[in-house]
A and B are shown apart, each in its own frame.
Chain A
């Protein structure tokens, strides 16, 4: 590591390797500026304008942001998205962890079960959501058929504003195979002698899990939390496909399934209010940034053991 402390004083060889290195990563440099930094700045600029694509953008100051404060649908979108991040995501991660712990009990036929739990997560979202639309169908769906069979009254899984988000979370669990496998892979890496010596000291299964297994894989848990928090803030396709109607609108009854990204999409690509949508995008950016910072600041529970 030669960090140039003084001015740029590089040897001839260093200069050569710098040029060659930069050449190799040049696609990344171009991509970084053209597809990331540039658009981020532009998006901030657009957020201060009114821009309907047909006429050139017109500067309106903070108006877009002020309108957002008053925008009822936007507020519902934030609430629904937070519901997904704060309720749906923890349920999914705990459920996925339980599944992984279950699969880690040295059961026979592991590779078969692993495949069964993973396959839903690689099917095209739209294709599998169409089945779930049919399963949730109020009149002919198998779920309500089952409820009637055991003597309960049917539920409007996707039409009752109180049920649509729980329904989406229920379906979302089915797509979680990827996380189950990430957890399973890390569980399999927990050194066996650690667990064995704890057992000799008289630790039971629950103590072993909470005192050894989970702390050992806490970096992986942290990684899945970060990635999924960012992902759940962008929750779109499942809800869109579930609630899209024939006229192209979506969001469910009384916007009960209107999520942040859906409203942003509608604002930008159906109403062509590019400035207003850019303001939404920037607020999302800030929310995700703050959430990430909070997660990193409160990461004291993550245990990094020396590798190898």
Chain B
């Protein structure tokens, strides 16, 4: 009996080892495949994106990289016949919009997370968590439709109220609101996890020293979870920078001149890529890959910068 069991065990472990080997190979090839997509995608965008700068675009002429990055008119002259593209003003407005939307979504998101994790009674917290998670999984086009159908009208009426003639509500403000709505769930979910993983002994220590609950929440818990909260902000920024569909429905397609006027139209790097993409050819098509390239660089630089700041912010006693 015992011998039989031993035999069985032996057989099963030896089979187990082969399975392990096969599994390892399968997992590794999956990992390699997914990792290689990054290079394929980046490669194709790079190859197409440099075409406007390196060739004469079938007689239209080379696009100058310097004026492309610094100019403040999307395209001077006729489409398909001009090489005077530039996105300098769009880069700035993209960053400006991302910053503004973060200024709304970050405090709202973090405070919501704090409420769910520490203050709300358990059943309420559970419901809220589900609501936020559902919100996080709503596709961006739905946010866009909401923006086009509701927010545009609100912003239009609001502008009329303060005596400003808005362009149908298509404005920086509308974009910022849509993006804030989209990033709040992302920021909340991740900050909540960070807040919940703060070591309870720190919290107890603070309370024992006579600090009130609110003091503890803000001064001890939030500052202990700041690294995780910072990650939440980074992901929120990533979502804002990369969002195209929802934004293009409320941005208004500004084509020239930088504007920080909250109620005037705007463009972002993603909307300029998206508009007309399906119907265009030649240089007007290739230039969108160049914009994509710039967007990738912008995202990369932002992430590097934010991660550098995050490292300086540091980590305080967080439960592993």
Q: Real complex partners, A and B?
A: no
A residues sitting closer than 8 Å to B (CB atoms) are none
B residues sitting closer than 8 Å to A (CB atoms) are none
